[in-house]
Amino acid sequence: MVWGAFSFRHRTPLYYIVGNLMGQRYRDEIVAPLVLPALHQIGVQAVFQDDNATPHRARLVNNFIQQAGVTRMNWPACSPDFNPIEQAFPDGSNAVGGLELLMQPVG
**Domain hosting residue 18, numbered range:** 2-88
Q: What is the pTM of this model?
A: 0.73
- Give the model confidence (pLDDT) of 65-80 as tens digits: 999 999 998 877 666 6
107 in any annotated domain: no
70 in any annotated domain: yes
Helix spans in 1-98 (H): 23-25, 36-42, 59-67, 84-88
Q: How many distinct structural domains can be found in the chain?
A: 1
pLDDT of residue 85: 61
CATH code (residue 50): 3.30.420.10
Q: Count the residues in the chain.
A: 107
What residues form DSSP beta bridges with 15?
3
66 in any annotated domain: yes
Listed as own residue / partner, the contacts of 32-35 with beta carbons closer than 8 Å and 24 or more positions apart are 32/64, 34/3, 34/5, 35/5, 35/70
